[in-house]
Amino acid sequence: METIVSNITERVIDIYRQFDASHDYDHVLRVMKNAEDIARTIPEANLLIIRLAVLLHDIDDPKYRENGNVTPMELLRSTSTSDELVKRVLETIRSVSFNGGNEEEIVSIEGAIVRDADRLDAIGAIGIARAFAFGGARGRKLYDADEIARTKMSEDEYRSRKTASVTHFYEKLLLLKDLMVTEEGKRLAEERHAFMLVFLEQLQLETGFTTIRK
């Protein structure tokens, strides 16, 4: 197990170094810690599948996809991994993305763990930092009083509209607490969610920006 994980780790570090700070290798390390913390509460979880899925979950993200990008399947195949392991890792990765609320069905406990682990890194203090890091990298406004948060959207609509960073809280980040699947994920999300609410209240006090409409 360690050999496969080490080989994949060596291959993905340089890929993530090309991404902005919201989805860099530090993000992967934080998601890995979250996933391992959750997995400790679920003895039947397969740690190899979890670790490989975490390492590979963002390398082919549509936000960063370019011609010639290596895919998770290609990296897994390059390690002479069994067909069954490849299948289960790819299923787990597909469970992760939010896609504007158009989520893939979770088909395994590993998928639930990695989804929750990734979403924990999207909320709380680190989630706030990542939201503004991504917005800054894409030239987005901090907040926009004229924007209305969308409650229903297709995946294409979710990805194509360049909303202000604070709008993203209302379209995704504040929704994640109630979308957690594992009991440990739900527990860990509570405090992080509460911190985001405090942050938004303080932001409103400092800027006069009122809570975004839905």
DSSP string across 88-139: HHHHHHHTT--GGG-PPPP-SHHHHHHHHHHHHTTSHHHHHHHHHHHHHHTT
Instruction: Give the number of other Cβ atoms within 10 Å of residue 142's Cβ.
Output: 14
Domain ranges of the chain: 2-207
Report whether pLDDT(11) > 70: yes
Determine how many CB atoms are found less than 10 A away from the CB of residue 144.
Answer: 15
Q: pTM of the entire structure? A: 0.91
What value does the mean pLDDT take over residues 17-23?
A: 93
Q: What tens digit of pLDDT does each residue of 104-134 get?
A: 789 899 999 999 999 999 999 999 999 999 9
Which top CATH class is 2-207?
mainly alpha
pLDDT at 149 over 90: no
